[in-house]
Structure 1
């Protein structure tokens, strides 16, 4: 159960990191816009995926109880 909540929080952090990469074009090194935008988009999509998966697992856990 705790893993699902942690996965939910991690998803939000991935979305925030993706927005930061797109906005500041920085991810440990200064990135070119051609690299920053796709990387930021991938991070945001992965964050949404983690949130969706965590919510579905939380719903399944509640239905089993």
Structure 2
């Protein structure tokens, strides 16, 4: 398996954690609305960034 594919899968995992945190307001412990929204958006943006970098590296043929 190409490591860029693995990085993309990890990025997708961060994206899913962000959606879960935002929707259920839970990350390790119960969060209030503001913290859940901030953590959720942070995880989603970081996951999208990781997926973007993985796709970019995969298209450029980097190993």
Q: So what's the TM-score if we normalise by structure 1?
A: 0.89
Structure 1 residue 2 displacement after superposition: 2.2
* Segments ≥4 residues shifted beyond 2 Å: none
Structure 1 gaps of 5+ residues are none
Q: TM-score, normalised by structure 2?
A: 0.92
Is 1:35 the equivalent of 2:60?
no
CA RMSD of aligned residues (A): 1.4
1:1-47, Cα deviation, whole Å (9 max, x unpaired): 72211110011111110000011100010001110001000000000
Structure 2: any 5+ residue segments left out of the alignment? none
Q: More helix by proportion, 1 or 2? A: 1
> Take 1:30 and 1:54, find their aligned partners in 2: how far apart are those partners?
32
How many residues matched? 62
